[in-house]
Homo-oligomer: A and B are copies of this chain.
Amino acid sequence: MTYERANIRDMAGYTWGEQPAQQQVIKLNTNENPYPATASVANALQGLRVDELRRYPQPFANAFRDVAAATHGVSRDNIMATNGGDELLRLAITTFVDAGQTLGMAEPSYSLYPVLAAVQGCRVSRVNLEEDWSLPLDFAAQLNAVDARLAFVVNPHAPTGQLMPVSRLRDIAAEFKGVLVIDEAYVDFIDPACEYDAIPLIREFDNVMFLRTMSKGYSLAGLRFAYGIASASLLAPMLYKTRDSYNTDALSQHLATAALAARDEAAVNWQKVRDERARLSQALSGMGFSVLPSESNFVLATVPGEPAVSQTGRDRLALALYQGLKEDGILIRYFDQPRLRDKLRITVGTAQENTLLLQSLKSRLERVQQDV
């Protein structure tokens, strides 16, 4: 006999990116930062004592919230700490979308969103991205038409890495009648020359929430620490009602606070990632790949193919390259879904990792092309 709710029984769970046990593998598949966390975080870790774990943690992670508020020029009430970004996404659904109601998202986008929607038993309205991977101009109108209570937008977008300007986000926030969650997981890798800062939108709109994470920019994916930024009224039901009462632990609070306070140290790594992103993109282009301009720590590259090569042929080539790299001990991401089957998503690694990736890719490409 099974006991789970019908919607749980009928749904499929999330598919995790591969996390090999061997350390030898070059891991460019889950968008982790290639550099370890900064010296400030290492020092904070050294300073921890087990007796500090005897008591319950500060339930709101207030020390972290104060550092985050100062970082973004907002107040403590505008910040909410969560056990990884997943928790914030889940809580947004739990808090704002009844079972049977609709949430909106772009297609393609983060594959976790529909899983979280299925758990809550709510509908998903998928708005296809344009040919150039931008959000359609009527994104908000389409979602209002189906009375979506919540929409997820990733900026920079995953898996393309494309950045939407703040003005576009403002237009969506103004038009959309539900809660707009802007997932900025990759925001730290944006070129500062873009002068991108969307956070002030929370003063204009009480329906906008940003997701930031310590996983990518701060090299702390193992820590599970993220935070939301929004108007106090939007965060309040999540802070005081729907989240687990002690959702972040004392160690994570301590290290995340140290990491965010030492933002400038982490920024050195962000520049290294940008430099390598440029080199990687250029080298891939030189090999015939078509690479989308990325403001993230990954690139999405379409496999080479003369106009004469069929779509199926290109899809097959992408899958063969993904598998070939895996045999070489290099993991990247292949998405078996519409519009992505002829593409590879490659996390920007260290200079050495990227060089090995390019070598392997080149040799695999030559081998596959000889076979064809």
Residues of chain A at the chain B interface (Cβ within 8 Å): 1-6, 8-9, 11-14, 16-17, 19, 27, 30, 32-37, 41-42, 45, 48-59, 83-84, 86-87, 90, 94-99, 112, 115, 119, 121, 149, 178-179, 206-207, 215, 219-225, 233-234, 237, 240-242, 244-252, 255
Contacts and interface: CB of A to CB of B under 8 A. Distances in A.
Query: How many copies of the polypeptide does the oligomer hold?
Result: 2
A222 B119 contact: no
Q: Which 7 A-B pairs have the closest CB atoms?
A: A222-B250, A53-B222, A36-B51, A224-B249, A86-B244, A13-B240, A37-B50
Given A54-B221, A119-B242, A244-B86, A179 B3 contact: yes
Given A83-B83, A96-B4, A54 B37 contact: yes
B56 A19 contact: yes
Contacts of A247: 83, 86, 224
B8 A246 contact: no
Most chain B CB within 10 A, of A42, A86, A242, A247, is at A242
Nearest to A119: B242
Given A86-B245, A98-B5, A32 B19 contact: no
A17 to B, nearest CB: 8
A86 B37 contact: no
A270 to B, nearest CB: 14
Contacts of A83: 83, 224, 244, 247, 249
Contacts of A58: 19
A223 B13 contact: no
A349 B313 CA distance: 70
Chain A: interface secondary structure?
A: loop
Nearest to A16: B59
A59 B12 CA distance: 17
B237 A223 contact: no
B19 A59 contact: yes
A241 B11 contact: yes
A220 B96 contact: no
28 contacts: A3-B96, A4-B237, A5-B98, A11-B241, A16-B245, A32-B55, A37-B51, A37-B53, A41-B53, A42-B49, A50-B219, A53-B219, A53-B223, A53-B255, A54-B221, A55-B221, A55-B222, A56-B215, A56-B221, A57-B221, A83-B224, A86-B247, A87-B244, A222-B251, A224-B247, A224-B249, A249-B249, A249-B252
A273 to B, nearest CB: 13
